[in-house]
Structure 1
Amino acid sequence: MSQKPVYVYAQWHVKDGHVDTVLELLEHVAGKTLQEEGNLFYKVHQNQSDKNNLILFEGYSDADAVETHRHSQHYKSFVSEQIIPLLEKREVILMDQLM
């Protein structure tokens, strides 16, 4: 796999009435993810005009680190099993930095 950094942009639209739960779960995910060896950063943002719209911006040292994250126990337990069912829509884009 590539040895260059990989950036993840994820846009989540949370179902009405569940944003507080999702944000609470994300605190656990962020804490564990920041401890991963290949993680560079993990930032969660909330749309000012639509509180149900969350943007996650993550950085990883390389593609292997992204895969390690996606297969981690905390990702499976919190994101796959608890958060994704509370989302109306989810878009994830893997990016390379150009400049």
Structure 2
Amino acid sequence: MKNQNPIHVFATWKVKEGQAENVLNLLKTVHDESIKEEGNLFYKIHQGHSDLNTIVVFEGYTNEKAIEDHRNSDYFKDIVLGKIVPLLDTREIVLTTPVDFF
């Protein structure tokens, strides 16, 4: 059985020199489509303060199925995999489950 707990995604991207604005423009569409998904909790885009070529995407999903649905969407395949990934030097993705102590 898949994890039914909320899952947060931290995607840290090092953008190729001169491509940050292009990536951010593409991410606007990804953001707008992602927040419409049934299992999406949030989709936040951050740009490095001192290194504008670093972008961190912080996403929240209700469970693993919601992440699968997101990654299998046509816009994700077209924009993220097809257009953004070629503009990156590096891409690191960490999936986490929030820990509640209280």
TM-score, normalised to structure 2's length?
Answer: 0.96
Alignment pair present for 1:52 and 2:53: yes
Deviation string, structure 1 residues 15-59 (Cα, Å, up to 9, x no partner): 001111000000000000000000000000011100000011000
Matched ranges for 1:1-99 at <5 A:
1-99=2-100
Aligned residues between the structures: 99
The alignment-based identity, stated in percent, is: 44
Unaligned runs of 5+ in 1: none
- Distance, in Å, in 2 between the alignment partners of 1:66 and 1:52 is 26
> Helix, strand or coil: the match of 1:41?
strand
Unaligned runs of 5+ in 2: none
RMSD: 0.5
- Distance, in Å, in 2 between the alignment partners of 1:97 and 1:61 is 11
How far the C-alpha of 1:86 sits from its partner, in A, is: 0.2
How far the C-alpha of 1:65 sits from its partner, in A, is: 0.2
Give the aligned residue type for 1:59. Answer: G
- Distance, in Å, in 1 between the alignment partners of 2:30 and 2:75 is 6
How far the C-alpha of 1:3 sits from its partner, in A, is: 1.1
Q: Show structure 1 runs of 4+ deviating over 6 A.
A: none
How far the C-alpha of 1:68 sits from its partner, in A, is: 0.4
- Distance, in Å, in 1 between the alignment partners of 2:63 and 2:16 is 32
